[in-house]
Structure 1
Amino acid sequence: MNKLKNFWDNASENYDKTEERFEYIHKKSRENTKRFLKDSDTVLDYGCGTGTASCQFSSLIKDIHAIDISSKMIAISKEKAALGKIENVNFEQSDIFDKKYSSESYDVILAFNMLHTVPSPQDVTQRINEILNPDGLFISVTPCLRQRMSFLVNLQIQLVRVLCKIGLIPIPIRRITSSEVDDLLIANSFQVVESEEIYKGASSYFVVAKKLQET
């Protein structure tokens, strides 16, 4: 965990700049997400990064709890909220497996650009189902690195994978497909409500999934 935290702490200073090349995908994903948010919703933003999405969604919902393992990401997020005078977002350095997050606590859980980097997507998806309210929504965006991408992005991904193998990047970078994301959701008692493959240099899979009630 310390290696992961240190990696994202070090990445925090230039995080927004490095994400600019995928701004079309980010913007499209956020616009899609807004259609599923209600003013009565309590939302968890898992892996919030520098808080851009949480701040944008804040005016559409009741409140949002945004977490990240990087204390420096959280510090930047808090600065953004303060500049925007946003009061209904609570940024906190934490992990989704913290026991303080109890069962059936959230109406919506967001996980943007997370599932291809976590140690166990299965465990994460199962945990998300656990802490969602009945009929709650899981909204995710996942880079699909076994699908279409530009030559330049492909070169960058190959370099990252080499750096992962030699230990300079301490996170798993999975090459998954949109159908594998669907299979993961179905296996963990979700029903896909809406999905879209968004492309701009690389394929990202936006999906809204509803928690199925136990019978």
Structure 2
Amino acid sequence: MGTASDTRFWDRTSRKYARGAIADPAGYEHTLDRTRALLGSNDRVLELGCGTGTTALRLAGDVQSYLATDISAGMIAIAEEKCSAAPVPALAFRVAAADELMPEAMQFNAVLGFNYLHLVRDLPGTLRRIHALLAADGLFISKTPCVGDMNPLVRLALLPAMRAIGKAPYAGIFRAAELRQFIRAAGFDILAAESHATRGNDNRPYIVARKQSPAAEQIAG
């Protein structure tokens, strides 16, 4: 089991995923508003794990350029259908993983990863790649389910059982405190860690992190 199986899962479920409703609309709108306030009109933005493009279509009109990527061609196909119906000139979609984007070819002012980090199989490596893709003082903005903070029944029984029968993708198990440690270890300063949930215990911290300057990284190292 690896990235190829994850891709097949998301391709297979892309249409069903697209029909799903947002569980916490008010919390989602809060996340959009908070993110929009952090982005500038001249920013070049990368979104990883964009799914069917819902967030990209809401944010791309406020920045210079917005590249939205996902490992699933099925997800990107739906995103492009939605974009064709309501074009956003600054927005482009691409089937790609973080490690397929070359830092030498592109530098971004902000990288976004919503409901994304728990799905990558090499979290430290992915965070280092994000760091490399960011311009100096660039922002990494994420909202990540922390499975390690969820009900033990979910992480120890339900999730493995669903994965075994192909009903769930890979999901990394870490706590919010551990996620913050991973982000700092990749060369970021955490500027904010917030909860945007308006119902229940969401366990999805919204984190804003800034790429450290080379001098700060040397001191930290």
TM over 0.5: yes
The runs of at least 4 consecutive aligned structure 1 residues that moved more than 4 Å come to 154-158
For structure 2, the residue ranges without an aligned partner over 5 or more in a row are 216-221
Q: Match for residue 159 of structure 2?
A: 160
Aligned to 2:193: 195
Deviation at 1:106, TM superposition (A): 0.5
Q: Deviations over 1:115-151 (max 9, x none)?
A: 11110110100000011001000000001223367x9
1:74-101 per-position Cα deviation (integer Å, ceiling 9, x unaligned): 1111111121121211101111111544
Do residues 133 (structure 1) and 132 (structure 2) align? no
User: Where does residue 178 of structure 1 map in the other structure?
Assistant: 176
Give the number of the structure whose residues are more often helix, by fraction: 2
Q: Which amino acid aligns with 2:41?
A: D
CA distance in 2, matches of 1:2, 1:148: 27
1:38 maps to 2:40: yes
Change beyond 3 A, Cα 1:38–1:173 = same
Bigger mean CA offset, 76-85 vs 171-180: 171-180
User: How many residues are treated as equivalent by the alignment?
Assistant: 211
Mapped to 1, the partners of 2:105 and 2:131 lie a distance apart of 9
Q: Deviation at 1:102?
A: 2.8
**What is the correspondence of 1:77-156 to structure 2 with a 5 Å cutoff?**
77-102=79-104, 105-147=107-149
- 3-state SS in 1 of match to 2:177: helix
Paired residue for 2:20, among 1, 18, 21? Answer: 18
- Identical aligned residues as a percent: 26
Q: Does the 8 Å contact 1:74/1:93 carry over to 2?
A: yes
Report the TM-score, using the length of structure 2 for normalisation: 0.86
RMSD: 2.3
Instruction: Look up the match of 1:5.
Output: 7
Letter paired with 2:189: Q
Distance 1:155 1:182 in 2: 22
Tell me the TM-score normalized by structure 1: 0.88
Tell me, yes or no, if the aligned pair for 1:118 and 1:171 is still in contact at 8 Å: no
Quote the Cα distance in structure 1 between the aligned partners of 2:107 and 2:190.
Answer: 21
**Native 8 Å contact 2:148 2:174 kept in 1:** yes
Q: Which runs of 5+ in 1 are unaligned?
A: none
Query: Does the CA contact (< 8 Å) of 1:104 and 1:130 recur in 2?
Result: no
Cα distance, 1:9–1:168 mapped onto 2, change above 3 Å: same
Aligned counterpart in structure 2 of residue 49 of structure 1, from 24, 48, 51: 51
| Distance in structure 1 (CA, Å) of the matches to 2:19 and 2:203 | 20
Shift of 1:172: 2.5
